[in-house]
Structure 1
Amino acid sequence: MKTNNIHSALFGLAVGDALGVPVEFKDRAYLKQNPVKEMIGFGTHHQPVGTWSDDSSLTFCLADSLCKKYDVNDIGQKFVKWANEEVWTPHGRVFDIGISTDRALYAIEQGTNPILAGGASEMDNGNGSLMRILPLLFYIKDFKIEKRFDVIKDVSSITHAHIRSVLACFIYLEYALQIVKGNDKWIAYSKMQKNVTHFLNNNAICSQTEMNKFYKILEIQVDDVKIQKLYELEETEINSSGYVLDTLEASLWCILRFDNYKDTVLKAINLGGDTDTTGAVVGGLAGLIYRFESIPTDWIDVLSRKEDIIKLCDKLAKKYEN
């Protein structure tokens, strides 16, 4: 099978997701004693080995929509069809859906414009848009940064419209963009920090207070807090909850601390908490960095609907990979 960035990203994400599903909500202490080392089944959601969650389902829905063209209305309708068990479920039924996502999809069903459907309060900053945003990279990669931000904002806002969730998606995709441009993960990270900081400082996108929420990632000075590089933080300083900022920090910390797909993703899972989403967010980046061939074959082989995912990747690559 001929693979490219799209196969690397989507399979990397789905494998990370499937590794995390059986231990979702298990805490770090439990996983210290019972670490995930291989792909397992059942557990939290009592699903067969290789089962991915809503993270991958919504990622595949976005990718599927982008195979035709960029259309926020179509993306929203794809998400609704998934929730109604019509498309991109691993085994024909939905076994997990976030509260904010559920509310937003219900609003779309009732006729709300998808861009206006997502919650916009500070309490609406779960990781439900970050977990599914990666396929958008291949549509926006040749745009100017201003347009990239606008598109990311719209697609995040289908379920999560608060600026913090939007910024998390923006930072994540800006880092992924630097990777697909051929930079190693360290240079990519440095360029992401520089580009994002410059963009936010020169555009009325958010308040300084909101920008400061990302100080660990962007390495910006906040009051008298000493600037410390994210990868230098101890594991005890890294949270892995369903809060979007925790997920982004944990994911980037794993990426910067480990040097291969397997170890990076297993570390993400064994941080505990929202394991499927941290695994998915890390897995997508690790797939891009280390390539499809680095993902253990036995993990890919047990993945639910593997052949359908291959077809989706091929279709998306035909449209966006030169």
Structure 2
Amino acid sequence: MLQATTEQARAALLGLAVGDALGVPVEFAPRAARQQDPVTSMRAYGTHHQPAGTWSDDSSLTFCLAETLARPGGRSGAPDLADFARRSINWLYQSYWTAHGETFDVGNATRTAIDRLQRGIVPTKAGPSSEFDNGNGALMRILPLVFHDIWRAETLNLSAAWSLTENVASVTHGHPRSTLGCFLYLLVARGLLAGMASDKAYAQMCELVNPWLANGSIPAVVEDKYYQKVLSGNLSNLDKRQVSSSGYVVHTLEAALWCLLKHDTYAATVLTAVNLGDDTDTTGAVAGGLAGLVYGEAGIPAEWLAVLARRADIEDLAGRLAGA
């Protein structure tokens, strides 16, 4: 079993939240605006009129999932998706696990799924599943799953890891393309959790998953063709103009991994992610969680952590997640 320490859980959750918070004030602004006025530190207000250090739905739902996994037995058996569903409902309607008691910036598929959960739909059937429901709302919250025993096994069972990821992703996003994005992301995160450098973790992901996908291992629709930039093994060679940063799950994964591979500090990784523009908070969060695993909590600028909303609560959650 790969080790998962409290320090790693803290770095992952804090890294994700800081990347999210850097992007919140400039969300939806185009790349051209960031080229003229790049984000270099925490900002206040802006798009959602929130104080500096405020994270969004990306972090909130990440923390909801982490809470479910932190329950007794939550990291070893099948996650209690009914528990995750209740926490997601409470987030949307009761502002549970929000930065300042306010829920904002809710994705369409996520809202639809949570409405279905509230009506009693089985969690694994709640997420919309058409091809047009492939936003990044499952990818943005999936990182805590890398601390589950299935993902930390010394010899990874790809089919078991896929099934686990599919179940957790489908609570809000039921299409295989969203699951595959989460799956590739977690494969990279697993390598980082084992202490690999970013490029080695990325290369290992490609080496593991390409033969598996070639054998038609994904149930239902084969979606690997949409991730060819990621699966090529040459993602870092792309020019920035070839990297999109929209809310489409494929684009978010490409952008986050590209930023991770192009830089050698936490700050450079997440600032590049945010300054790609458009869906800045999610690109920042997805890149930031991985960068946290690479560079550790010590690699996150202290001045950013100092203003991060509910930092102590996040650190407490990370301790419970690692010790579950």
What range is the shorter-chain TM-score in? over 0.9
Q: Tell me, which stretches of 5 or more residues in structure 1 are unaligned?
A: 220-227
- Secondary structure at the residue paired with 1:49? coil
Choose which of 98, 108, 114 in structure 2 pairs with 1:105.
Answer: 114
Alignment deviations for residues 56-88 of structure 1 (CA, whole Å, 9 cap, x no partner): 000000001111122111111111111112420
| Residue 164 of structure 1: how far off its partner (Å) | 0.5
Letter of the 2:297 partner, please give it: F
TM-score between both structures, scaled by the size of structure 2: 0.93
Contact 2:109/2:127, CA 8 A, preserved across alignment: yes
TM-score between both structures, scaled by the size of structure 1: 0.93
Letter of the 1:174 partner, please give it: L
| Residue 207 of structure 1: how far off its partner (Å) | 7.2
Contact 1:3/1:292, CA 8 A, preserved across alignment: no
In structure 1, the residue matched to 2:274 is 269
Task: Determine the C-alpha separation between the residues in 2 that align with 1:12 and 1:122.
Answer: 30
| Residue 206 of structure 1: how far off its partner (Å) | 5.2
**Residues 1:74 and 2:83 are matched in the alignment:** yes
Contact 1:28/1:271, CA 8 A, preserved across alignment: yes
Task: Determine the C-alpha separation between the residues in 1 that align with 2:221 and 2:159.
Answer: 18
| Residue 144 of structure 1: how far off its partner (Å) | 2.0
**Residues 1:134 and 2:143 are matched in the alignment:** yes
C-alpha RMSD over aligned residues: 1.4
Choose which of 167, 175, 189 in structure 2 pairs with 1:162.
Answer: 175
Contact 2:176/2:221, CA 8 A, preserved across alignment: no
Contact 2:95/2:103, CA 8 A, preserved across alignment: no
Alignment deviations for residues 31-55 of structure 1 (CA, whole Å, 9 cap, x no partner): 1010000001100000011000000
Contact 2:15/2:290, CA 8 A, preserved across alignment: yes
In structure 1, the residue matched to 2:237 is 232
**Residues 1:285 and 2:298 are matched in the alignment:** no
**Residues 1:59 and 2:72 are matched in the alignment:** no
Task: Determine the C-alpha separation between the residues in 2 that align with 1:141 and 1:3.
Answer: 15
Choose which of 173, 177, 189 in structure 1 pairs with 2:202.
Answer: 189
Q: Tell me, which stretches of 5 or more residues in structure 2 are unaligned?
A: none
In structure 1, the residue matched to 2:103 is 94
| Residue 151 of structure 1: how far off its partner (Å) | 0.5
Aligned CA distance change for structure 1 residues 118 and 208 (closer, same or farther; 3 Å): closer
Q: Percent identity?
A: 48
Aligned CA distance change for structure 1 residues 182 and 278 (closer, same or farther; 3 Å): same
**Residues 1:37 and 2:46 are matched in the alignment:** no
Aligned CA distance change for structure 1 residues 150 and 185 (closer, same or farther; 3 Å): same
Alignment deviations for residues 134-187 of structure 1 (CA, whole Å, 9 cap, x no partner): 001101322522111101000100000111100000000011001111211111
Alignment deviations for residues 197-250 of structure 1 (CA, whole Å, 9 cap, x no partner): 12222343157862111111111xxxxxxxx82111111111000000000000
- Secondary structure at the residue paired with 2:223? helix
Aligned CA distance change for structure 1 residues 117 and 207 (closer, same or farther; 3 Å): closer
Choose which of 203, 207, 213 in structure 1 pairs with 2:226.
Answer: 213
Contact 2:24/2:55, CA 8 A, preserved across alignment: yes
**Residues 1:16 and 2:19 are matched in the alignment:** yes
Where has structure 1 moved over 4 Å in runs of 4 or more?
206-209
Contact 1:178/1:191, CA 8 A, preserved across alignment: yes
Task: Determine the C-alpha separation between the residues in 2 that align with 1:125 and 1:192.
Answer: 22
**Residues 1:180 and 2:193 are matched in the alignment:** yes
Choose which of 212, 222, 244 in structure 1 pairs with 2:249.
Answer: 244
In structure 2, the residue matched to 1:222 is none
Letter of the 1:93 partner, please give it: E
- Secondary structure at the residue paired with 2:94? coil
Please, which moves more after superposition, 194-203 or 4-13? 194-203
Choose which of 109, 123, 127 in structure 2 pairs with 1:114.
Answer: 123
Task: Determine the C-alpha separation between the residues in 1 that align with 2:67 and 2:314.
Answer: 10
Please, which moves more after superposition, 228-237 or 281-290? 228-237
Task: Determine the C-alpha separation between the residues in 2 that align with 1:104 and 1:171.
Answer: 23
In structure 2, the residue matched to 1:6 is 9
- Secondary structure at the residue paired with 2:294? helix
